[in-house]
Amino acid sequence: MSGIGSVTISLDGSNKSSKLPLIGGTVGPPVADIRKIYNDLGIFTYDPGYGATASCESKITYIDGDEGVLLYRGYPIEQLAEKSTFLEVAYLLLNGELPNAAEAKEFDTGVRMHTMLHEQLRVFYNGFRRDAHPMAVMCGVVGALSAFYHDSLDINNPEHRRISAFRMIAKVPTIAAWAHKYNVGQPFMYPQNDLGYAENFLYMFNAVPAEPYRVNPILARAMDLIMILHADHEQNASTSTVRLAGSTGANPFACIAAGIASLWGPAHGGANEAVLHKLGEIGHVKNIPTFLEQVKDKNSKVKLMGFGHRVYKNFDPRAKIMQATCHQVLGELGIKHDPLLELAMELEKIALHDDYFVSRKLYPNVDFYSGIILKAMGFPLSMFTALFAVSRTVGWISQWQEMIADPEQRIGRPRQIYTGAAQRDYVPLDRRD
Ligand code: SDX
pLDDT in tens, 327-342: 888 888 888 888 888 9
pLDDT in tens, 321-380: 998 998 888 888 888 888 888 999 899 999 889 999 999 999 999 999 898 899 989 999
pLDDT beyond 90 at 240: yes
Give the mean model confidence (pLDDT) for residues 298-323: 92
Q: Which residues pair with 21 in a beta bridge?
A: 6
* Residues 6+ positions from 190 with CB-CB distance below 8 Å: 116, 204
Give the mean model confidence (pLDDT) for residues 39-52: 96
Query: Does residue 367 have an active-site annotation?
Result: yes
Strands in 69-72's sheet, in edge-to-edge order, are 61-64, 69-72, 75-76
pLDDT in tens, 171-184: 999 999 999 999 99
pLDDT beyond 90 at 291: yes
Find out whether the beta carbon of 366 lies less than 6 Å from any atom of ligand 1: yes
Give the mean model confidence (pLDDT) for residues 253-257: 97
First CA to last CA distance, the chain: 59
pLDDT at 1: 81
Give nearest CA residue, ligand 1 atom 57. Answer: 303
Query: Does residue 131 have an active-site annotation?
Result: no
Provide, rounded to the nearest whole percent, the portion of the chain with pLDDT above 90.
Answer: 88
Find out whether the beta carbon of 391 lies less than 6 Å from any atom of ligand 1: no
pLDDT beyond 90 at 101: yes
CA 132-134-138 angle, 5° bins:
110
pLDDT in tens, 189-219: 999 999 999 999 999 999 999 999 999 999 9
Find out whether the beta carbon of 236 lies less than 6 Å from any atom of ligand 1: yes
Give the mean model confidence (pLDDT) for residues 259-288: 94
**How much distance in Å is there from the Cα of 286 to the middle of ligand 1?**
25
Give the mean model confidence (pLDDT) for residues 304-333: 91
pLDDT at 346: 92
Give the mean model confidence (pLDDT) for residues 18-35: 96
**How much distance in Å is there from the Cα of 310 to the middle of ligand 1?**
6
pLDDT at 168: 96
DSSP conformation class of 413: -
Find out whether the beta carbon of 304 lies less than 6 Å from any atom of ligand 1: yes
pLDDT at 338: 84
- Length of the chain (residues): 433
Output the CA–CA distances (angstroms, integers) from residue 266 to 17, 244, 306, 385, in the order listed.
42, 21, 10, 9
DSSP conformation class of 364: B
pLDDT at 204: 98
DSSP conformation class of 423: P
Confidence (pTM): 0.95
Burial class (CB within 10 angstroms; exposed 0-12, middle 13-18, buried 19+) of 209: exposed
Confidence class for position 151, pLDDT limits 50, 70, 90: confident
Could you please report the per-residue DSSP string of 125-192?
Answer: HTTS-TT--HHHHHHHHHHHGGGT-GGG--TT-HHHHHHHHHHHHHHHHHHHHHHHHHHHTPPP----
pLDDT beyond 90 at 153: no
DSSP conformation class of 310: S
pLDDT in tens, 107-132: 999 999 999 999 999 999 999 999 99
Give nearest CA residue, ligand 1 atom 20. Answer: 305
- Kind of pairing between the strands at 17-24 and 31-32: antiparallel
**How much distance in Å is there from the Cα of 303 to the middle of ligand 1?**
8
Confidence class for position 297, pLDDT limits 50, 70, 90: very high
**How much distance in Å is there from the Cα of 263 to the middle of ligand 1?**
14
Mean pLDDT of the chain: 95
pLDDT at 335: 86
Confidence class for position 152, pLDDT limits 50, 70, 90: confident
Please state, in angstroms and rounded to a whole number, the distance separating the CA atoms of residues 369 and 367: 6
Catalytic pick among 114, 232, 309, 338: 309
Give the mean model confidence (pLDDT) for residues 136-155: 91
Dihedral sign, Cα of residue 349, residue 350, residue 351, residue 356: positive
pLDDT at 221: 95
